[in-house]
Amino acid sequence: MSGLNECCLALGVEKMKPGSLGGGGDGGATALDEHYRVMYEARGIAKAPPMAQFFGGAGREHQALYGTTDDQFAMIGEKNHRHSANNPYSQFRDVYTLDQIKSAPKVFEMLTKTQCSPTSDGAAAAIVCSEDFVIKHGLQGQAIEIIAQSARTDSPSAFDQKNKKRTMIELIGSAMARNCANDVYQQSGLTPEDVDVVELHDCFSANELITYEALQLCGEGEGGKLIESGNATFGGKYVVNPSGGLISKGHPLGATGIAQCAELNWQLRGECGPRQVKDAKVGLQHKYVFQSDCAFIF
């Protein structure tokens, strides 16, 4: 906090147009033009939503590099829909088997409809206040402390046409997420081993799996093994997206980050009922939009 105010309200709201999310690149110069160029050179052009092409292309790249399977991506869709069944604020609350996830209508490459975040309307809010305000108003029993935060943007190399090492995984923000994670771990003195519950930006199952590695919940190339081992759900090492994540809870763009914050606050207060992460003490939040990333530890 800057110290200018003792108590602030942060509000996010979105009412989205029907249909798939665009992303520019269809006429006129945009900040994503260079990203599109790299994607088209690497993967070509498909008749599919552009965002699905970005993240699905990164997923295919991950498979080529590390042997990740279509089933491992689908396991993330199965997990997040299963988690959302116990979230009364979730857009979808249906549970699917792995086979149903895999056989859902295909959007792009390995990404089926049940592995993609939907078009959503929604709103979320959070009250952010100083420690003095908390004490003055006797809120110690319900306040959750933000102990570290970071925001990063794309490096200049992401836009450098001479940089031939750019990858699809880099284009979807993996390096930024890793830098943010390093920042918050260093600020807090904590490590990934200390984290109990995570809300991360699973706009597509491919991004959740790749972000496991960026947040250092597992080693590089081991995201598939993490989801397959059961260590990203209840009873495992971490619980990732107990809310159902963007895939099932919903992704109203302007409200998504605050909604993640709300879920982690409820989890750390022990207020989540059947989706409660047992003994949750430390929460990690990751939010992404093209060209910028942020992370918080609560």
Is the dihedral angle over the CA atoms 80, 85, 90, 96 positive or is it negative? positive
Whole-angstrom Cα distance, residue 178 to residue 12? Answer: 25
Q: Are 250 and 122 in contact (CB under 8 A)?
A: yes
Could you give the percent of the chain with pLDDT greater than 90? 75
Q: 2 lies in a domain?
A: no
Tell me the average pLDDT across 155-178.
Answer: 78
Q: How many structural domains is the chain composed of?
A: 1
CA-wise closest residue to 291 among 156, 92, 97, 114: 156
Predicted pLDDT of residue 24: 45
Domain residue limits at 101: 7-297
Alpha-carbon distances, residue 255 vs 16, 33, 99, 262 (angstroms): 11, 26, 31, 11
Kind of pairing, strands 292-297 and 283-289?
antiparallel
6 Cβ partners below 8 Å, 6+ apart?
129, 130, 132, 133
Q: 291 lies in a domain?
A: yes
| pLDDT higher than 80, residue 102 | yes
pLDDT band at 289 (very low <50, low <70, confident <90, very high): confident
What is the tens place of the pLDDT at every residue in 245-288?
999 999 999 999 999 999 999 999 999 999 999 999 999 999 98
Q: 1 lies in a domain?
A: no
Average pLDDT, the chain: 91
Q: 56 lies in a domain?
A: yes
Q: Are 78 and 97 in contact (CB under 8 A)?
A: yes
Give me the CATH number covering residue 202.
3.40.47.10
Q: 232 lies in a domain?
A: yes
Q: What is the pTM of this model?
A: 0.91
| pLDDT higher than 80, residue 167 | yes
Q: Are 295 and 284 in contact (CB under 8 A)?
A: yes
Q: 12 lies in a domain?
A: yes
Predicted pLDDT of residue 21: 64
Cα pseudo-dihedral 241, 243, 248, 253, rounded to 10: -90
Q: Which residue has the higher pLDDT, 15 or 37?
A: 15
Q: 59 lies in a domain?
A: yes
Tell me the average pLDDT across 48-70.
Answer: 94
